[in-house]
Chains A and B, each alone.
Chain A
Amino acid sequence: MNFAFSEVAVQAGEAAREVLREAASGAARRAFGAGVDAALWARVRGLGWLGAAIPEAFGGSSLGEEGLCLIAEALGESLAPVPFAGGAYVAAPALLRFGSAAQQARWLPGIADGSVAAAWALSEGPGAPEARAVGTVFRDGALTGVKWPVVDGTLAQLALVVARDGAGEVGVYLAPLEGVSREALAGLDPSRGVARLAFERAPAELLASGWSAVEAVLARAAVFVAFEQLGGAHRALMMARDYALERQAFGRKIGSFQAVKHKLADVYVAIELARSHAFYAVWAMMAEAPDFLRAAAAARVAATRAFEMAAAETIQVHGGMGFTWDSDCHLFYRRSKHLALCLGGIGYWKDILVRTLEQRNAA
């Protein structure tokens, strides 16, 4: 059994962590309002991470999905405020899975070098992802409808838009965003940009048809995001640990109280369970295993819970200081909810998880 990452993937993750320690330091706070740190984004683009899971033929590095996962973990740990996910986690895997040769040739090189930032445009307001909530229509080669919130929607060059064709069939469309009306929205996590996109007969073309394709795109992205969540959760836990070793109350370090120790032990348990699920999900994705959707859903549920728990409890351990604007705690708290919501909330993924188990038992 070899249930571990390849040496080359581990090295890529460590190298990314090393770079980000300096380059991303303070970046999330600097990005407040803008939703991106331009200097960091330029640096990340130059390092080739975006193309980690893109073949060399399309300008990628062919490092592979394992490597991209560990880079994602490092990005999550550092709260890097960059429009990375839409291209590397959503668009590139979707193009590689569903795209025609022409679509791959047109978009993948730009995604790999960062000249094309991509955005995932599914949501049309409140509610869980579902086919019947899709009101955006595709007719005569063009999209009409309003999508919000769209992460990185203001600065992206390309959107993957979920829309309905004349026959009512839902699909994923590739839409260049020049000429599309965009409005920045105030984000729950101001270090990440969200926008409202109004498509008015905007040119687009079909990438993949059917709600199952939407789920397949979401599932791939969920695996990579799970690693960002793991990175964030681990960092939040370490911040709480470090503070508990330093802060004194009642004549002793607060980390010596069982109320604090047991809380942090529970966070550790949640993180390790999530890590184990995330390991399996990346394997299932690469092996195209029949239980991939279930594996992705389980990883998503576990990682979402772990990061939200870690972020909330790190504030608790920091006490009043953790509730201040100047503490970094709220950056993790905000990012944990941002990542929890960005591909559909935990309830949506729990439902997928149970549905896939029902389908397995019915088979």
Chain B
Amino acid sequence: MDFEDSPEEAAFRAEASAFLEREAPGFGGRGDVAAAKAWQGTKAEAGFAGITWPRRFGGRGGTPMQQVIWNQEEEKYQVPRGVFEIGLGMCVPTVMAYAEAAVCERLVGPALRGETIWCQLFSEPAAGSDVAGLRMRAEREGDGWRINGQKIWTSGAHFSDFGLLLARTDPSVPKHRGLTMFFVEMGSPGIEVRRIRQISGESNFNEVFFTNVWVPDGQRLGEVGDGWRVALTTLMHERLAIGSLPGPDFEDLLTLAQEIAIEGAPAIGNAAVRERLADWYVQSQGLEYTKWRAITALSRGQMPGPEASIYKLVSARKIQDLSGFALDLLGEAGLAAGGRFAEAWLQSPGGRIAGGTDEILRNIIAERVLGLPGDIRLDRDKPFNA
């Protein structure tokens, strides 16, 4: 065991770190979309965008390990990154996998350079965890499709230029078989984006209404009726992301416990507080080490093992518990507390739902890792409109 980079990895890290040291400070602390686009453009120009993407699409043609190294180095700076995660992490790779060369030519480069932003239009009011039960209708019309329906929980739709859209093209067959994938221009007539205000008061995601939106057949990705398989490609990219959820972590709570007093002594001396601290250290640091196991696999050119699937399940719940406990420690002062813990506590329920609920993630572990049977699905073989 060792934690050293290989010579190739070290060389790439040095290159990345030199670039960041030179360029990142200029973007420090800026969170607006314009700044994010500018930062993405700067990265693309230097060859640090699309690290694992093929060179023919303007990527670096690098390894997943280089992506990990880049993420580690970039995380050290307060650069604006978030708005591209869904588009470049999930949507555009789906386009690259399924669209014709000319379409890729037109779309991929601008996305990589940060000139366009993509959102993912999968979830609907009646189709969350069971996304294959979505209702948005796409009906043939001439050399294109007429689309009607509603999407929801669409992060970044209000500043996106394109969307990856999963819609139902045939309601007469069972639900997984009647779906087709498209991409749409968000400025198309008939698309209306309405912000949703979250419990934290922020508005990061949206409802998106489609009223008689026309989409040419050339914007179809994959075969008609094959949308579920295409969507699985998209979601697979989501599962491979090895990142950290934002929010206060164990070290913030530890500091608070050392600073705040219970009965005239630092809270950390309290046995109940120590007990909880130990539990969260085990979770926080255990996830960090688990990430190292996944990185080791990537470094050897292998896929991470199933242990990588525990990351979001553990960390989302931990942020909720840990930030709630921090508010408890503050006592009545917690009633008036703004600040990181209050903000994280209000955000945290969303973390346990977005990108796979706790319950769906447990199902995935039980079924794919432990080999337990899938749920009984009463609607699986019935026509969707039955």
Contacts and interface: CB of A to CB of B under 8 A. Distances in A.
B296 A261 contact: no
Nearest to B373: A256
A269 B361 CA distance: 11
B275 A265 contact: no
A276 interface: yes
Interface in A335-359: 347, 349-351, 353-354, 357-358
A261 B282 contact: no
Nearest to A269: B310
B293 A279 contact: yes
A256 B293 contact: no
A4 B275 CA distance: 30
Contacts of B296: 1-4
B254 A301 contact: no
A261 B363 contact: yes
Given A241-B371, A273-B282, A361-B258, A1 B4 contact: yes
With most chain A CB atoms within 10 A of its CB, the pick from B4, B283, B290 is B290
B310 A273 contact: yes
Contact of B372 (A264, A269, A298, A301): A264
A205 interface: no
A5 B1 contact: yes
Given A264-B372, A279-B1, A351-B274, A3 B366 contact: no
Q: Is the interface of A mostly helix, strand, loop or mixed?
A: helix
Interface residues of A, number: 48
Contacts, number: 146
A279 B285 CA distance: 12
B363 A258 contact: yes
A282 B1 contact: yes
B359 interface: yes
A297 to B, nearest CB: 8
Nearest to A5: B1
Contacts of B287: 273, 276
A261 B1 contact: no
A354 B289 contact: no
With most chain A CB atoms within 10 A of its CB, the pick from B268, B362, B370, B371 is B370
A273 B1 contact: no
B130 to A, nearest CB: 14
B271 to A, nearest CB: 8
Contacts of B75: none
Contacts of B313: 269
B294 to A, nearest CB: 9
Given A258-B375, A269-B310, A273-B286, A66 B1 contact: yes
Contact of B373 (A255, A265, A276, A277): A255
Interface of B: 1-5, 254-255, 258, 268, 274-275, 277-279, 281-283, 285-287, 289-290, 292-293, 295-296, 299, 307, 310, 313-314, 359, 361-363, 365-367, 369-376
14 contacts: A4-B293, A255-B373, A256-B372, A260-B372, A265-B363, A272-B290, A273-B310, A273-B314, A276-B286, A279-B289, A279-B293, A298-B282, A302-B282, A351-B278
Interface of A: 1-6, 66, 237, 241, 244-245, 252-253, 255-256, 258, 260-262, 264-266, 268-269, 272-277, 279-280, 282-283, 286, 298, 301-302, 305, 347, 349-351, 353-354, 357-358, 361
